[in-house]
Amino acid sequence: MSDSELQYTVTRLEIINSTVARKRLGPEGSTKGSKDSESLSPSVTSDSEFIPHESGHSFQLFYDLWFVANLTVFTEYHEIIDVKALSLFIGFVLLLWTTWIQSTFFDARFSGDSIFERITCAFDLGVMVGFAELGTVFTPSPNYQAIFRMASLFLMASRLVLAVKYATMLFQARKYARRRAKMVLLLIIGTLVAAATIYFGISFMLGVDNIPGDALIAWNVVGVVEVILQLEYSRLSDPLSFKGTNLEARMNQLTLIILGEGIIIMIRGINLLVQEKSPLADSLAIGWSPALIAIIGCAIGLIYIIFKIYFDLDHHSETTSRRRTAWVFFHLPFHMALVVLLEGTNKFVVIWKILESSASANSALNGVFEDVRAPSTLTTQEVIGKIRSIVVDQLVLYKPNDTLKTWTHLNTTFANISTIPDMFWSIGVPVDDPTVDRFTDSFKDIVLTVLENIQAFFGIHGPVESATFNLSSLENVAIYSRKTEFKLIFIYTYISAGMVISLITLLHAISKREGWVSFNIYRTAFFISTGVGLTLTNLLATSEILLVNFLSSPWPVPVILICYSVVLIVAHLPFPKSFNGKRKGDSVPFTNKIPQIRQSGPSPQRRPKSRRYMSLHDSRPDVGFEMDEQKEHTRHTGNFV
């Protein structure tokens, strides 16, 4: 039996897997074939010094899944409803992305399967576990200095492990690589060691007098500088470039994973919405309204449209190293904007549900307020009973996080109302009676408590705003109670929506080298204008009335979906005949048909070709030329997608 048949596992592990194309350099830089060079992969050219990896293995996908796992952990523990939380979210995603791309740079060029590789991959997964621990307490507070110090040491360890990996490649290629390639490897190793030293120093900076926020800024600056230097190093040596590697596929794969994270966030939000299983839902007119279903459908459709636009405009073709590095680098702001857009879209779904639930509660409470404003025979205890019954229904439907604290506060408010005499209700609520302030303040406190509990149930915590509170109309009180938070969500969602479509267009322009005729240029300008228009929608935030009216409508998510749908449709529009212009030097419109040239005299008699000649030569000699003309016509007109 052969060794392969006796082998128990699928692959036979080596201690260290070599990805070096073993070709000893001659005196003039030419390669001398060795025993190993005759059996190299066809993808290895005569100038190759390392075997490129055009496809990844299972560990790379497994490692990528930890990226989305850490994002999920962070979004579950942190609500992006204020500027501080937004800055922390961007900082965490940036730190996670720069750490991920560092490992991806190595895997794209030298990844293999060996005992050494598996041990180092275990260290990489350990770093991701450290991110999971950091994501739960990612707050710049002195109470978490020990965790931030440990995270800084994790980052140091990840860079040192990568330095050891590159040093192993340098040792293997010491006899076969050119001097330039060796120098680039030394630069990469030096950069990683320098970054590890900085991370080690940051861990000591987290003392009593420093807060973790300073460490976060330092981490991100070092990470971005590392990425820029690595991309520049890849342009210095062709064997160490990303040409022929699976780096583009890894970036596309990460985009899919981030979109999958958006789906996870959306499903988690939907699961939160369906927790209303109380029989009171029908009596309170709370449920899945057509507007809520439409908004959820638009949010899911937006993820699908982004997926189609990104991959329809992604051109995988041979390009220059400058374009390739730019394409990779601009995925950093694209992925960050995409994550923020997906989070903001989910927030709009939750906001609409909050507005619907708050409108139902406010309608019931407003009915009681209107009843007591007119003269009635109600007593103070009857008024309290009416208000209490509505409050009980709401707290049963939306269970408070701290039931004891909530009811203690409400009972105190009810006790304050109970001091009002019964005769106060028989004459109606007078305007000039000082008792009216006691009742209105207490009633306002009850309304805000109910609204705060509803918002906390759907994941938006914190005290509500009591300014600009009008008891005579509770229609938009939910928006006014969270005006600052909702305004921020609106701003960062529409900014990220404009950035996503603009950056996809930029990535398309970088990857598409040919076919830039006038119609395609107009399309590109339209896409950029759409992104700018979505960003400028934030001008609504300058007017409180316009912003409240827009947020109180179900249109924030559908507007983004409509813009993206138009972009996708325009991207697939066929090339119009009106743009089939003339080529330079032509007097007639350019076509792929070859004109037949007539001769003035009689056609000469030709000797018929033999059967053997017809078998060796194509009987249609003009087919090849016509195909060349067709290719030239395609290049001249250009397909956008």
Note the pLDDT tens digit of each residue in 230-245. Answer: 999 998 888 788 887 8
pLDDT of residue 472: 52
Give CA 117 to chain center in angstroms.
30
pLDDT band at 489 (very low <50, low <70, confident <90, very high): very high
Mean pLDDT, residues 121-129 taken together? 85
Three-state DSSP class for residue 6:
helix
Mean pLDDT, residues 498-518 taken together? 90
Among 241, 256, 283, where does a domain finish? 241
Number of domains into which the chain is organized: 2
Rounded Cα distance, 347 and 257, in Å: 20
pLDDT of residue 607: 55
- On whether both 209 and 64 belong to a single domain, the answer is yes
Residue with tokens 């039996």: 1
Number of other residues whose CB lies within 10 A of the CB of residue 12? 10
Mean pLDDT of the chain: 78
pLDDT band at 113 (very low <50, low <70, confident <90, very high): confident
Rounded Cα distance, 387 and 377, in Å: 16
In a domain, 158, yes or no: yes
In a domain, 204, yes or no: yes
In a domain, 104, yes or no: yes
Radius of gyration for the chain, computed over Cα atoms and rounded to the nearest angstrom: 33
Mean pLDDT, residues 589-596 taken together? 46
Mean pLDDT, residues 58-78 taken together? 82
Distance of CA 502 to CAs 334, 337, 533, 570, 593, Å? 9, 10, 11, 15, 38
pLDDT of residue 32: 46
Residue with tokens 């000649």: 613
Among 241, 268, 296, where does a domain finish? 241
The domain in which residue 136 lies consists of 53-241
In a domain, 58, yes or no: yes
Number of other residues whose CB lies within 10 A of the CB of residue 261? 21
User: Looking at the predicted structure, is the pLDDT value of residue 42 above 50?
Assistant: no
Mean pLDDT, residues 475-480 taken together? 72
In a domain, 319, yes or no: no
- On whether both 235 and 360 belong to a single domain, the answer is no
168 touches 18 (CB < 8 A): no
pLDDT of residue 46: 37
pLDDT of residue 630: 46
The pTM of this model reads: 0.81
Rounded Cα distance, 170 and 164, in Å: 10
Among 195, 212, 241, where does a domain finish? 241
pLDDT of residue 287: 59
Rounded Cα distance, 93 and 185, in Å: 28
User: Looking at the predicted structure, is the pLDDT value of residue 271 above 70?
Assistant: yes
In a domain, 167, yes or no: yes
In a domain, 29, yes or no: no
User: Looking at the predicted structure, is the pLDDT value of residue 605 above 60?
Assistant: no
pLDDT of residue 36: 40
Rounded Cα distance, 500 and 258, in Å: 13
In a domain, 91, yes or no: yes
Q: What is the DSSP letter of 32?
A: E
Rounded Cα distance, 339 and 347, in Å: 12
